[in-house]
Structure 1
Amino acid sequence: MKWTAILVAVLAPLLALSAPRVAHAHEVRPAYLDLVEERPGEFSVLWKTPMQGEMRLALAPVFSGPVDLLAPVATKVTGDAAVQTWRIRADGLRGMSLRIVGLEGTLTDVLARITFADSSTWVVRLTPREPEAVVPARPSGWSVASTYLALGVEHILTGVDHLLFVLALLLLTSGPWRLAKTVTAFTLAHSITLALATLGIVRVPPKPVEAVIALSIVFVASEILRNRREKAGWSERMPWLVAFTFGLLHGFGFAGALSDVGLPDGQIPVALLFFNVGVEAGQLLFIGGVLVMAAGLQRLRIVWPRWSVLATPYAIGSLAMFWMIQRLAAF
């Protein structure tokens, strides 16, 4: 698609500009709060916050009503997060407001989950703009679906590496039928590994996965360059095969993001399904935006220099190579 190459020649530098703001594509990690009612009015609390170097992110959950501490706070560091556990008594938790103190000054979201003794579950996503929410008297099952749907959309739209891979696939693909097959193959592949990894059927270390995801972008960028200079190779004739193969790896990356926030007990299928739906919705939004912008630029009939066709894959491949080296160095 010549018009896609024209569009990406403009869009890729914009994506590249976002790279200096992130050490890697998923630097902003969420915090996680989990309360489980073990006895009437008594809750076990798990509070997981990201680490910044050797310091824990300064966040604290606070309820608006009376809460008594039943057991002291125990803290341990696991990987790049601090995990704190304690026990509280809160007889009137339903109807209280939950606020994350300090959230306003961060870029982090908080996924909060409360499981009551009657097996009802309330899940909410708190953000710097909305750091407070009221615990409802009767939690709705839709809260889990809507929260994980939003998490999926946000993850794909803020995952610059995943977007660059999709962008590279668009450059590699010609014709609407091939595009549909390529997008479908990518969706099917990462849905498979997302489910397998999230359910614990397959376990893959996250750091190698992130490095290979960057390598997948380098590979597709190099294939675009080769196809621009020579005759079309198998990757351009069968882009859906490339999309499916590397889509399996990207699914493990999505699973890593989902594992950071966890899944609600008893509602794992719903949370997993809607997170994946959110990822697909965000991906389609991105592709749709690219196609609309491409059509608009094509109408302008701008004469672009010949080198612009090669500038885009070079920019994509260079940024991905930087990520790969950075992630390998972090092993």
Structure 2
Amino acid sequence: MKWLVALFCALLAAPLAADELRPAVIELTEREPGIWLLEWKLPVAATTRNIAPVFADPVLPESCKMLGEPSQRAAPLALLGSARLRCSGDLSNERFGLSELVGNADALARFVPLDRPAQTFRLTAAAPTATIAAEPETWAVARDYFVIGAEHILFGWDHLLFVIALVLLVRRGWAVAGAATAFTVAHSITLVATTLGYTGLPSRPVEALIALSIVFLAVEVTRMLRDPEHETFTRRAPWVVAFAFGLLHGFGFAGALADIGLPQGEIASALVAFNLGVEAGQLFVIAVLLALLAVIRRAVPLAETPVVRAATYGIGIIGSFWLFERVLG
């Protein structure tokens, strides 16, 4: 059953950079009849050695011509650009987007005409451009933001490690579900409040506290493994701890949404869909981990504690690295 141990530990084989999920955004907006503004935000991959864009150039509709030279400037972990276009016709069935997307990256494209409803598209590496429809899809925004929310849990490693540590600490189906629900309610509160402008915190301390929440849970799991009979407050009421840290993680989700942006006129549906996507991704991770633990418990019961201990140490080390990086870097 060594493969089970390897599979469980593979969950921790993520890069030591907690890259937030920040899709590229490209928006085509009609400013006056026939005159359009194309704007784009392209995230960059940042390391201590280099900063390189992870997306290629914008793709214009065939009926559009650029007026003058595009303007571009660097922002923290992003490249921003804009260009004025002159376009003929309503652009139906024409394509715009990006020339390519690298790896698992994705992007959001928005088409905002003067006399028709706006359209939102999710771009992927397989389909980096979108076709402008004569009539927008009713559920396009909800679908796209649901997927982005799910991806934010599955590929936003700091949030993912918090959920994994929570499962390792609780390990009982209904108790995990209750703690996860408390986490979801809490991050939904701060996410909505921050997005709508009622509150907010600077990103650096929020990211440091998120890393601290991961370290805290890893320490709690280690204490449980050393003394299974001693119940700490976290073990007695995991939903309270999950709720408290969920408020912090909500600020992190809000930061990701601020980078992506919300479609005007459909903010409510986008927020609801994003939250539902986060919850769906979270429940998927919990179900997989509980099933994996159950398999290990039945097939090789003596391996359960070593596997959980190895996973916990891995989570604690990564969380500690992020904490020092975010406090000192």
Establish whether residue 299 from structure 1 lines up as the match of residue 298 from structure 2.
yes
Gaps of 5+ in 1: 1-5
Q: Does 1:13 align with 2:9?
A: yes
Distance change >3 Å, CA 161–CA 57, structure 1 → 2: closer
Distance 2:249 2:280 in 1: 16
Q: Matched residues in 1 for 2:19 and 2:111: separation? A: 30
Partner of 2:234 in structure 1?
A: 235
Distance in 2 (CA, whole Å) between partners of 1:132 and 1:84 is 17
Which residue does 2:201 correspond to in 1?
A: 204
Deviation at 1:328, TM superposition (A): 2.1
AA in 2 matched with 1:19: P
Kept after mapping to 2: 8 A contact 1:9/1:312: no
Partner of 2:220: 223
| Distance (Å, rounded) in 1 between the aligned partners of 2:158 and 2:110 | 29
Q: Which residue of 1 aligns with 2:37?
A: 44
Q: Where has structure 1 moved over 4 Å in runs of 4 or more?
A: 6-12, 52-58, 305-309
SS at match of 1:32: strand
Q: 1:3 maps to which residue? A: none
Whether the 8 Å contact between 1:190 and 1:250 is mirrored in structure 2 is yes
Question: Does structure 2 retain, via aligned residues, the 8 Å contact 1:7–1:294?
Answer: no
Residue 257 of structure 1 corresponds to 256
- Stretches of structure 2 that go unaligned for 5 or more consecutive residues are none
Contact 2:173 2:290 in 1 (8 A): no
> Residues of 2 paired with 1:215 and 1:8: CA distance?
29
Shift of 1:99: 4.2
**Quick one: which of 121, 124, 133 aligns to 2:121?**
124
Q: Cα gap change, 1:217/1:50 in structure 2, threshold over 3 Å: closer, same or farther?
A: same
Change (3 A) 1:67 1:304: same
Q: For residues 97 and 174 of structure 1, do their structure 2 counterparts lie closer, same or farther at Cα, with a shift above 3 Å needed?
A: closer
| 1:108 counterpart SS class | coil
Question: What CA distance in whole angstroms lies between the structure 2 residues aligned with 1:101 and 1:224?
Answer: 46
**One-letter amino acid matched to 2:190:** T
TM-score normalised by the chain length of structure 2 = 0.89
Partners in 1 of 2:288 and 2:52 — Cα distance?
Answer: 39
Aligned to 2:142: 145
Residue deviations 1:159-203 (CA, integer Å, cap 9, x gap)? 122121111111222544422321111110011111111112212
Give 1:7 deviation, angstroms.
Answer: 11
On the 8 A contact 1:9/1:311 being kept in 2, the answer is no
Alignment of 1:76-155 (within 5 A): 76-92=73-89, 93-103=91-101, 105-155=102-152
**What amino acid maps onto 2:34 in structure 1?**
G
One-letter amino acid of the structure 2 residue matched with residue 15 of structure 1: L
Change (3 A) 1:9 1:196: farther
1:305/1:147 CA distance change after superposition, 3 Å: closer
Corresponding residue for 2:170? 173
- Select between 50-59 and 81-90 the one with higher mean Cα deviation: 50-59
Per-residue deviation at 1:24?
Answer: 2.3
**Hey, what does 2:185 align to over in structure 1?**
188
- Measured after TM superposition, the shift of residue 211 of structure 1 is 1.4
The answer to whether the Cα contact below 8 Å between 1:7 and 1:293 also exists between their aligned partners in 2 is no
Deviations 1:119-151 (A, max 9, x none): 501111111121122111111231111111111
Percent identity, aligned pairs only?
41
Deviation at 1:264, TM superposition (A): 0.7
DSSP 3-state at the match of 1:293: helix
C-alpha RMSD of matched pairs (Å): 2.4
SS in 2 for 1:264: coil
Query: TM-score normalized by structure 1?
Result: 0.89
Q: Is the 8 A contact 2:9 2:307 kept in 1?
A: no
Note if contact 2:58-2:97 (Cα within 8 Å) is conserved in structure 1. Answer: yes
Kindly state the Cα deviation for residue 155 of structure 1 after the two structures are TM-superposed.
1.0
Cα distance in structure 2, aligned partners of 1:163 and 1:55: 25
Contact 2:168–2:308 (CA under 8 A) maintained in structure 1: no
2:60 to 60, 63, 71: 63
Alignment of 1:19-38 (within 5 A): 19-20=15-16, 23-26=17-20, 29-38=22-31
Whole-angstrom CA distance in 1 between matches of 2:286 and 2:304? 25
8 Å CA contact 2:225, 2:305 repeated in 1: no
| Aligned AA (1:141) | T
Distance 1:69 1:221, change over 3 A: same
Q: CA deviation at 1:86?
A: 2.1
Whether contact under 8 Å (2:12, 2:311) holds in the other structure is no
